[in-house]
Amino acid sequence: MSAPPSLKTPATAVAVSRRSVATPRATGLRGACAPPTRRLRCSASAAVAGASTEMADAPLDWAERSLEELHSLPDHDTFCLMALSPLDGRYDRFVKELMPFFSEFGLIRYRVLIEIKWLLKLSQIPEITEVPQFSKEAQSLLNAIIENFCIDDAKEVKKIEKVTNHDVKAVEYFLKQRCSSNPEIAKVSEFFHFGCTSEDINNLSHALALKEGVNKVMFPAMIDLCRAMCSLATQNSGYPMLARTHGQPASPTTVGKEMANFAARLSDIGKSFSEVKILGKFAGAVGNYNADVVAYPEVDWPKVAEEFVRSLGLQFNPYVTQIEPHDYISKLFNLFTQFNNVLTDFDRDMWSYISLGYFKQIPKAGEVGSSTMPHKINPIDFENSDGNLCQANSILSGISMKLPISRLQRDLTDSTVLRNLGMGLGHSLLAYKATMRGISKVQLNESRLAEDLEQTWEVLAEPIQTVRHLFPSVHFPLNSVLVAVSKCLLCVHQTCIMLLLLLIVGDAKIWDT
């Protein structure tokens, strides 16, 4: 996607270029639709003017470790049965990869990370003599808190929150307690939250969750989906199919070309993700560095804030109030909504093709298609995807419309909405995986395709009419007409063409009837 830090390094996003998915017009050759390279990431890399890439390229071992902890809990099955959201219950196994980033645990961990990184940043500013450079031992202790943060640590923060009734303050107290045994850090522990409003910590936490969660989980699923569509296009590029405009028999097409259309559309949207910059602010209570300037007027605080935000692999937004205005989240979610709309179109077309018998579904051993009709194999995966895309888009659209609106310099309406970022993405991920399952189960029904073409030879009226109107008074030799018409009808059976051409040549008055 592109250079400014938003989601990550330059990439072709979710797929392939139009050139790589277009089925050749005249050849019908397989292999005409190249699968996309597996490069993820939007434009949230830290590759800006020498910014540090420490956070941008940090390993995500902690995410996998947190999932292992979660699923090792003895009451996990009970929790899934009682979960209010089906994402955390019935569909837990399909969306669990998002949990480390968008759960309460993930938010707490990101807050801990921001507070610690900020204290380390303050220790590097010479003018702030109260926070001298930390020893290697102290730095190791602080970094270990981040690297080893676990569910038990998050539970400890929640215990403190029950007393403070403030989630960000609870993180600050947790860090003070955790570092109390180290005199060097304990001496300056009041600086964990120096000059910060809670939103300084929160906006960066949500930005990192989006950056890492989308790059790590969402984009790979979207790319796999486009790769599957490309495979459908290449594998079926040579098979003719009756098109059905308005649901009625229309001029023939090919299966591969129709699949390539969807791959190209999704690819186009995928490229646009690179234009979304994942932004962060760190400018205090109303965005003016008021407390910072009063305490240390000689420090260039806007420069310090920009360096700090960029060190996390995010783009810096200098034009803020108490909050970062969230416009970038709206842009990001609008793209997901658009991607989901195209996928909905694909799901419904596949449903129709299955209904027409153009695709057969491969039964899986042990599965039951209907509780009462054993012969049925329903297109449940495409239907599941369709439903979840609808649910996802209702959430994503609601969030994208709400977040940019905040009364004056700040109201709290965004706080509860931001906790639902994972909901819209979760239903999207669930849909992507369902469509993938659906694609893996379908098999082209060549005999049904051929049968439909054989029974609807009237669709040749379009090219025949075109030739007749161009040359109304000329009787063409059979071979000449055959060549002219076949150029327009590469995907139509030769026997049908021959039959119609014999009728035309034999009786020019056929057009008068």
Tell me which DSSP letter residue 43 carries. Answer: B
Tell me which DSSP letter residue 96 carries. Answer: G
Are the C-beta atoms of 219 and 212 separated by less than 8 Å?
A: no
The residues, any chain, with a CB within 8 Å of residue 488's CB and separated by 6 or more, are 462, 463, 466
Does residue 370 carry a catalytic annotation? yes
| pLDDT given for residue 371 in this prediction | 59
Task: List beta partners, residue 243.
Answer: 250
Q: Which of 193, 169, 189 is nearest to 179 (CA)?
A: 189
CA distance 453 to 491: 10
Catalytic residue among 181, 246, 371, 375: 246
Q: Which tokens is 394 given?
A: 């209702």
| Positions of the chain with pLDDT lower than 70, given as ranges | 1-59, 365-376, 472-513
406 φ, ψ to 5°?
-145, 130
Does residue 140 carry a catalytic annotation? no
Domain boundaries, the chain: 61-198, 208-280+314-364+373-451, 457-507
Q: Which tokens is 429 given?
A: 């991920």
| pLDDT given for residue 20 in this prediction | 39
Fold of 208-280+314-364+373-451: Fumarase C; Chain A, domain 2 (1.20.200)
Our measurement of the distance from residue 289's CA atom to the centroid of its chain's CA atoms, rounded to an integer in Å, reads 35
Which tens digit of pLDDT belongs to each residue from 26-59? 333 333 344 444 443 555 433 333 333 344 445 6
The residues, any chain, with a CB within 8 Å of residue 67's CB and separated by 6 or more, are 96, 97, 99, 100
CA distance 308 to 123: 12
Cα dihedral sign, 109-115-116-121: positive
CA distance 424 to 398: 10
CA distance 254 to 397: 35
Catalytic residue among 370, 440, 447, 480: 370
CA distance 103 to 419: 8
The CATH class of 61-198 is: mainly alpha
DSSP-derived 3-state class of residue 153: helix
Asked if 61-198 and 208-280+314-364+373-451 have one fold, the answer is: no
The DSSP code sequence of 286-322 is TSS-HHHHHH-TTS-HHHHHHHHHHHTT-EE--S-SS
| pLDDT given for residue 497 in this prediction | 41
Which tens digit of pLDDT belongs to each residue from 189-239? 999 999 999 999 999 999 999 999 999 999 999 999 999 999 999 999 889
Bridge-based pairing state of the strands 240-243 and 250-254: antiparallel
CA distance 245 to 261: 15
| pLDDT given for residue 250 in this prediction | 83
| pLDDT given for residue 55 in this prediction | 45
CA distance 102 to 96: 10
3-state secondary structure 470-505: HCCCCCCCHHHHHHHHHHHCCCCCHHHHHHHHHHHH
**CA 31 → CA 12, 230, 257, distances in Å?**
20, 9, 12
Instruction: Kindly provide the residue ranges of all beta strands, DSSP E only, lying in 355-490, ordered along the sequence.
Output: 359-361, 442-444
Are the C-beta atoms of 1 and 278 separated by less than 8 Å?
A: no
